[in-house]
Structure 1
């Protein structure tokens, strides 16, 4: 009988030891999840009304102007750090003040079609502190040669 009690006591002790790390792991996971949730608080999110604008067909030399309007759907201000175009014929101007949650910002793009005959696709890259910190919008269409 004594031979059975010692192994059973050892087994019970080991079983109780195994429960402690599982509880600590569960507590650790809960802490990690809480930390992750806290880390995600305070992030701005850019949502464009339209991420592409097709200006259709124009004659060479015409200037196309379009406003890319976006809303900050996050819960922290969005700051546009840099907005650049893929070509010197395209000039972006943008909101320089922080865009508060729920508010709108704008990126105005001008495309000068001089010497840009044919199908056109101009990419505008937007760098910000938002959740997706690098985004793109595009301007596209066809430029017909001067008559």
Structure 2
């Protein structure tokens, strides 16, 4: 009986001592530009990622689903509690009407992949 108690206590102690995995928290995953004239040129927005984990994380990649949308980001590690920013530009030239574009972002923390969306008219 005492052997079981010792085993359970050791297992619980080991579980408590495990490090917390890096966790990505996006402040927003969608941005609506609303209506604008294509003559204004490229429009930009920013998406912010907060590292709520105990280990540094980094953005390892970001790809848009078309050439009119361009994500810009730093690959420098983001310390726990700090924020990373992805700046997304959309070029409306020759693309009148409504649009919805997706940007897939890969990170070293969880979740590994996140889809961001921009929309507008």
Q: Which residue, out of 67, 77, 84, partners 2:56?
A: 77
Q: 1:133, 1:37 → 2: CA distance? A: 24
1:116 aligns with 2:95: yes
TM-score (norm 1): 0.70
1:27 aligns with 2:7: yes
From the two aligned structures, give the one with the greater helix fraction: 1
Q: Secondary structure at the match of 2:34?
A: strand
> Number of residues paired by the alignment?
120
Gaps spanning 5+ residues in structure 2: where? none
State the match for 1:90 in structure 2.
69
Gaps spanning 5+ residues in structure 1: where? 1-18, 143-147
TM-score (norm 2): 0.83
1:71 Cα offset (Å): 1.2
Query: Larger Rg: 1 or 2?
Result: 1
State the match for 1:45 in structure 2.
23
Q: Which residue, out of 113, 118, 121, partners 1:139?
A: 118
C-alpha RMSD of matched pairs (Å): 2.5
